[in-house]
Structure formats: structure tokens, C-alpha cells
Amino acid sequence: MKTKPYQLLTIVIICIIAGGVLALGYTALFSTAVKEGTESRSGGFLPNLAKVKAHLYFANKDGQSLKAEERSLVRHDNAVEHARSIVDALIEGPRSGLLPTLPAETSVLSLYVTEDGIAFVDFDRIIREKHPGGTLSELFTVFSVVNSISLNVPEVEATKILIEGREVKTLAGHIDIRFPLRPDILMIK
């Protein structure tokens, strides 16, 4: 059975029309998200989602303690996603004149929370390579992560820091991070 040229042309026209309708639908959906949404970190737009307030802990201006910065984050229904958004916000850095505690180039390779309430945060090696060093700076980095996760995510009692999937003795030579750490509220002023 041979296909006649006008039948082939009809099929092509139908496909073009269907593609156009799909493209218009996608464009309308995207423009609605842009009108109703907010700009994401990557410059794209996200639809408005439920927010939750979190206290992120950064070094204070004199570099002698941690101080809370209140931030609105997207509400997540599970502890892992909520903890991940907190760590991403820590990496992004403070917005209120406080000092960052994590190198901006740092990435989280994975994050999970065990049934017994231990959050495991696996950073890439940049957290170690770009760390400024010093006991106090290392202490702030470690407890910025530990306090921010443990004090904002009810399912988490302690936090364990890994680097590239491995347990390490210290982050920069001073603070023992071989074991999960509980929050230290005495570091917060």
C-alpha cells in the first residue's frame, strides 16, 4: 500500500499543529510561574511555595561567636530535604552583615537522616581546601552546620560531617568530627 503525497503532507501538518499547541501550553504555564513566583538562585523562576522560618548560624561581626540569622526557606515535608535547604542556605552565606562560615564554592554531595536522628552531611573537598584555618574558624564552621540543622529540623538530634563520602578526623586540623555532634547553644550569642 502506497502513501499518497497529500496524506503524508496531512500527517506533517497535524504534527506541526499539535507541537504548536503543546508549545503554547508550556509557554502559558511558564509565564504563570514567572508572574506568581520568585527568582531562584540560578536566575530562573519558581512558583511560590509554602515557606518556613529557619535560624541559620553564622559568625558574628567580631568573629567571637555564632549568631542566628532568620531566613524564610521553602517548606519541605521530609527532614532530608529540609536539612539540605538549610545547608544550601549556609553555603550561600549570610544576608545581614554576619560572616560566612562555609566557603561559597562548597557543595553538598549527599545528605541523609537516620531513623535514630543522626544527619549525615557529605561535603566535597572544597570545604577543607578553601577553609581559612584556625581553631575558632573551624569551630564556627562545624557548629554552624550542626546547630543550623539540629535546631531547625526536629527529626535531627546530632549531625555528622563527612568529606567526599569519608569520615575524617578533623575539618582543618583542630576539631574532632569523627562522631556525630549535638548542637552547642553556648556558642550562640
Confidence (pLDDT) at 187: 94
Position 143, amino acid: F
The helix/strand/coil state of 107 is coil
In this predicted structure, what is the pLDDT of residue 39? 44
The answer to whether 121 and 149 have CB atoms below 8 angstroms apart is: yes
Distance CA 189, CA 187 (A): 7
| Residue 18 pLDDT | 61
pTM over 0.85: no
Asked whether 176 and 169 are in contact (CB, 8 A), the reply is yes
Domain boundaries, the chain: 5-39, 49-187
Q: Are strands 158-163 and 118-123 parallel, antiparallel or unpaired?
A: parallel
Q: What's the rounded Cα separation, in Å, for the pair 119 and 122?
A: 10
Q: How high is the pLDDT of residue 3? A: 56
Region of 117 (left: φ > 0; alpha: ψ -120 to 50; beta: rest) is left
> How confident is the prediction along the chain (189 residues), in pLDDT tens digits per residue?
555 666 766 776 776 776 655 555 544 444 433 333 444 444 555 556 789 999 999 999 998 999 999 999 998 889 999 999 999 999 999 999 999 999 999 999 999 999 999 999 999 999 999 999 899 999 999 999 999 999 999 999 999 999 999 999 999 999 999 999 999 999 999
